[in-house]
């Protein structure tokens, strides 16, 4: 009798100030971060993500940026986060706030 490999469960998260999405997904061991994102179906259900190719999204795991989501294997219990693009450079925003205080 051949024993099947167990799947692993991870979460995929996308957040806006007004709404958050958290999708649990079970995938086979050895699944990449990008494949787990696609398996979650989140990009097909969230309007803001529908027009963005999954391989161009900025992703992270527990707040740490994943440089190559197509190569990084996801592990049991990890949370894959989809990062929103920055509209303002954080350094410029900090300088602007400092100027307003003076």
CATH of domain 7-101: 3.10.20.90
CA-to-CA distance for 61 and 81, rounded, in angstroms? 6
pLDDT band for position 6 (50/70/90)?
A: confident
Q: Which residues contact 84 (CB under 8 A, 6 or more apart)?
A: 15, 16
Question: What global pTM score does this model have?
Answer: 0.77
Strands 58-61 and 20-28: unpaired
In this predicted structure, the answer to whether residue 57 has a pLDDT above a threshold of 80 is yes
Q: What are phi and psi of 50, to 5 degrees?
A: -60, -40
pLDDT at 2: 45
Give the tens place of pLDDT for each residue, 22-52: 999 999 999 999 999 999 999 898 888 888 8
pLDDT band for position 102 (50/70/90)?
A: low
pLDDT band for position 5 (50/70/90)?
A: low
The continuous run of DSSP H or E covering 22 comes out as strand 20-28
Cα separations in angstroms, 44 against 53, 68, 72, 77 = 11, 21, 22, 23
Structure tokens at 57: 């999204």
């Amino acid at each position: 009798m051949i024993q099947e490999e167990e799947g692993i469960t991870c979460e995929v998260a996308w957040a806006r100030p007004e709404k958050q999405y958290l999708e649990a997904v079970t995938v086979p061991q050895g699944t990449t971060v990008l494949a787990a994102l696609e398996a979650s179906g989140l990009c097909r259900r969230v309007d803001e993500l529908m027009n963005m190719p999954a391989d161009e999204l900025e992703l992270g795991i527990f707040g740490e940026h994943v440089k190559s989501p197509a190569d990084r294997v996801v592990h049991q219990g990890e949370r894959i986060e989809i990062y929103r693009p920055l509209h303002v450079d954080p350094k410029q925003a900090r300088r602007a706030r400092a100027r307003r205080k003076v």
